[in-house]
Structure 1
Amino acid sequence: MAASFMEPFRELLVKFLIPEKCFDEFFINFNFLDVPCLKILISKVLGIGIIAGSIMVKLPQIIKLIRAKSAEGLSFKAVLLELLAITGTMVYSISNSFPFSAWGEVLFLMVQTVTIGFLIQHYGGNTGRGIGFLGLYAVILLLLLSPLIPKTVITLMQATNVPAIVISRLIQAATNYRNGHTGQLSAITVFLLFAGSLARIFTTVQETGDPLMILTFVVSSCCNGIIAAQLLYYWNVPSSHKEKKHK
């Protein structure tokens, strides 16, 4: 009965969630505790959840910047390094034909990170430089996605993600420490990034098994954890911008 009920959904589930053998295992043999199939299902659901969440993960940060009309506490250099890591992961994943569920969130994170980079320049009084940044990034991205770039270069770019992530987070952490507060950093964005990078370790192991990708997300989780810890530590410390507004 259950098998016949689920049969119309076979094509959809096999395409997006589980392989054919797992569909049969779950809905024909009723073996819902098959460990390999459960891992695949959990990985796919997590991956889809991460992608869905990434559509809005940095929106709180963008909204906070626009409302405050200030980018105080945010480092443009850190944003550039984060963008380098995000772009490297996206181009590397496309180049290796990894499933979208294994990397799709970086597409949305890229758009939002570029927006934050522009806003930092804009609210810093450098709108022209911000527009130039957008144009230059678009050209670089198109070049990286073209056949002109050898795959060895793409792999090397992914390998540089680890130091890029570490340096970008250290710059932001140092900025927070130097200021004695986290400025316009959004707690929602930071904690969502931390949770997403942790979940990505499991999905990457399950879906790609690529050591470079796994290492990237392990390092990213550790670094995001540092920023999240600083947010908690400086939770009740007002930024100088807020203090000036109340004077």
Structure 2
Amino acid sequence: MAAGEHVGLFPWLVMLLLPEECYVEFFEKFNFFDGPCLKIAISKGLGFGIILGSVMVKLPQIVKIIMSKSGAGINVMAVTFELTAISFTWAYAVANSFPFSAWGEALFMAVQTSAIATLCFWYKEQTLQAILYVSGYLAVMWVLLSGVTPLSVLSAMQATNIPIVVLSKLIQAQTNYSNGHTGQLSAVTVFLLTLGSLARVFTTIQETGDDMMTLTYIISTAANAVVAFQVLWYWKRTEEFTKRQQSKKD
């Protein structure tokens, strides 16, 4: 069968993810250990796995805030810095036409991260701030994604992601240290973010070859790991804090 003559639903589905030569290697030659194609398959699998996971990665955090009706222990400034880094990566990847599997989680994480900040304002009864936060963020993202922002500007913004990521996690880590507990931070969300950013190091190298994005994810993994360590370190104190908060409401 000549190149380009693969017909049927299965070949079509496979070639949505893998190049045709990899379909040939895997499903015609049955060479499942072809080095280049195996790397592509692993990268695509991880990439879409991260995206699927990102749909729910911050839901435990959102649910925890809603159930407790409190954003105690969550530093909104740190959340905003994190949202900024996510949004810069999203806009930079779109402008460079990187495959969705290399950056798609940024879309879902941006929605959830902005929701967390908004809920923190909401439960402090700062309704106007909550509305302004959401509307301001949507306006900024329209400018970044509409094509009116030059690629050089987006590249410069992406370059700032490393200090932004570090700063966001250091602010949250300082808040945790000052409080002596991690408040309403969700352990599930923190650990999933750490694992997700670690997996992204491999997929970014494989799918984009972009050194700036790769370094950003390496730094992000280390920064997330600091907060993850604090979640474990302050586990018992956080449980005590949660019980005290609950008893006050009861």
Structure 1 and Structure 2 fold alike (TM over 0.5) = yes
- Mapped partners of 2:13, 2:138: distance in 1: 35
Amino acid at match of 2:11: R
- Mapped partners of 1:77, 1:9: distance in 2: 47
Q: Which residue of 1 aligns with 2:120?
A: 120
Q: Which residue of 1 aligns with 2:50?
A: 50
Residue 241 of structure 1 deviates from its aligned partner by 5.4
Assess, with a 3 A threshold, how the Cα gap between structure 1 residues 69 and 239 changes in structure 2: closer, same or farther.
farther
- Mapped partners of 1:228, 1:74: distance in 2: 14
- Mapped partners of 2:161, 2:223: distance in 1: 12
Amino acid at match of 1:14: M
SS at 2:184's partner residue? Answer: coil
Task: Say whether the 8 Å CA contact 2:73–2:183 is kept in structure 1.
Answer: yes
SS at 1:41's partner residue? Answer: helix
Per-residue CA distance 1:59-93 (angstroms, 9 max, x = gap):
00000000001100000100110010000000000
Q: What is the TM-score when the length of structure 1 is the normalising length? A: 0.95
- Mapped partners of 1:220, 1:137: distance in 2: 22
1:12-31 superposed matches below 5 A: 12-16=13-17, 18-31=18-31
Residue 244 of structure 1 deviates from its aligned partner by 4.0
- Mapped partners of 1:116, 1:137: distance in 2: 13
Assess, with a 3 A threshold, how the Cα gap between structure 1 residues 172 and 25 changes in structure 2: closer, same or farther.
same
- Mapped partners of 2:201, 2:108: distance in 1: 19
Task: Say whether the 8 Å CA contact 2:78–2:172 is kept in structure 1.
Answer: yes
SS at 2:57's partner residue? Answer: coil
Where has structure 1 moved over 4 Å in runs of 4 or more?
none
Q: Aligned residue pairs: how many?
A: 242
SS at 2:236's partner residue? Answer: coil
Amino acid at match of 1:246: S
SS at 1:178's partner residue? Answer: helix
Q: Which residue of 2 aligns with 1:192?
A: 192
Amino acid at match of 1:118: T
- Mapped partners of 1:43, 1:74: distance in 2: 33
Task: Say whether the 8 Å CA contact 1:72–1:241 is kept in structure 2.
Answer: no
Identity of aligned residues (%): 53
Q: What is the TM-score when the length of structure 2 is the normalising length? A: 0.93
Task: Say whether the 8 Å CA contact 1:183–1:239 is kept in structure 2.
Answer: no
- Mapped partners of 1:175, 1:169: distance in 2: 10
Q: Which residue of 1 aligns with 2:3?
A: none
1:91-240 superposed matches below 5 A: 91-237=91-237, 238=239, 240=241
Assess, with a 3 A threshold, how the Cα gap between structure 1 residues 165 and 239 changes in structure 2: closer, same or farther.
farther
Amino acid at match of 2:106: V
Structure 1 vs Structure 2 CA RMSD: 1.5
Q: Which runs of 5+ in 1 are unaligned?
A: 1-5
- Mapped partners of 1:31, 1:245: distance in 2: 58
SS at 1:74's partner residue? Answer: coil
- Mapped partners of 1:151, 1:168: distance in 2: 25
Q: Which residue of 1 aligns with 2:63?
A: 63
1:32-47 superposed matches below 5 A: 32-47=32-47
- Mapped partners of 1:66, 1:170: distance in 2: 25
